Amino acid sequence: MGDWKKAIAVFKEMEFPLDCDEFEGKIIAQKTICLLQLKGMNLDYAFGMYVRGSYSPAFTKDYYDHKQEFKSLSSGSVLSDEEKVMVKNLDDLFLKNAPLLEIGATYAFIVEKTNRTPIEAFRIIKETKGFYRDTQIAKGISKVKQFLFEPTEKDLEWLKNETGPIQRASIQSMRY
């Protein structure tokens, strides 16, 4: 069984009282918990793939069983400083946008849990989330990559070398 008290602490940090009678709120909640677990936060919920992407029946049971606590954001649980930073990063990137969270969490779940390549995951997203605009799909995938896949020092050095000349030329052209 999952750690519903810690899940409430996540939503408290996001200032997001979960009303389980609101469909969009449930999408935001499910995808937030899934992404935080994929990032390494221990909430102990099992997720699988369903119609709207990654979904945990156990988490659903918990937020219905503890409806008032989720709505009032009261659990007594506190996140560590590292967990607070993780939650803030996710919230700053996705801004509680249900479609972007659905796209991002579905893409990440496919890549991480079904051992599909990013190209295969993108194709699956396009097929299963065709009701979203291409720009939303691109934005959701971009944001989840930004959240989950942190660049290595080697990646950052390559990027600096790759974009450095363009940045210097841009700065120089602004002087004229």
What would the pLDDT profile of 19-55 be if each residue is shown by its tens digit? 999 999 999 999 999 999 999 999 999 999 998 889 9
Query: What is the pLDDT, as a whole number, of residue 107?
Result: 95
Residue 54 lies in a domain: yes
Query: What is the pLDDT, as a whole number, of residue 37?
Result: 97
Asked if residue 83 has pLDDT above 90, the reply is yes
The C-alpha atoms of residue 89 and residue 154 are separated, in whole angstroms, by: 22
Per-residue pLDDT band for 149 (boundaries 50, 70, 90) equals confident
Asked if residue 67 has pLDDT above 80, the reply is yes
The C-alpha atoms of residue 132 and residue 152 are separated, in whole angstroms, by: 32
* Boundaries of domain holding 118: 4-151
Per-residue pLDDT band for 163 (boundaries 50, 70, 90) equals confident
Query: What is the pLDDT, as a whole number, of residue 166?
Result: 77
Query: What is the pLDDT, as a whole number, of residue 176?
Result: 62
Residue 143 lies in a domain: yes
Residue 119 lies in a domain: yes
Closest alpha carbon to 38 in 29, 47, 49, 26:
47
User: What mean pLDDT is predicted for residues 5-18?
Assistant: 97
Burial of 7-27, coded b for 16+ CB within 10 Å and e otherwise, reads bbbbbbbbebebebeeeebbb
Query: What is the pLDDT, as a whole number, of residue 1?
Result: 76
Residue 162 lies in a domain: no
Residue 141 lies in a domain: yes
Do residues 47 and 37 lie in contact, with contact meaning Cβ atoms separated by under 8 Å? yes
**How many structural domains are present in the chain?**
1
Residue 103 lies in a domain: yes
Asked if residue 160 has pLDDT above 90, the reply is no
Residue 172 lies in a domain: no
Residue 171 lies in a domain: no
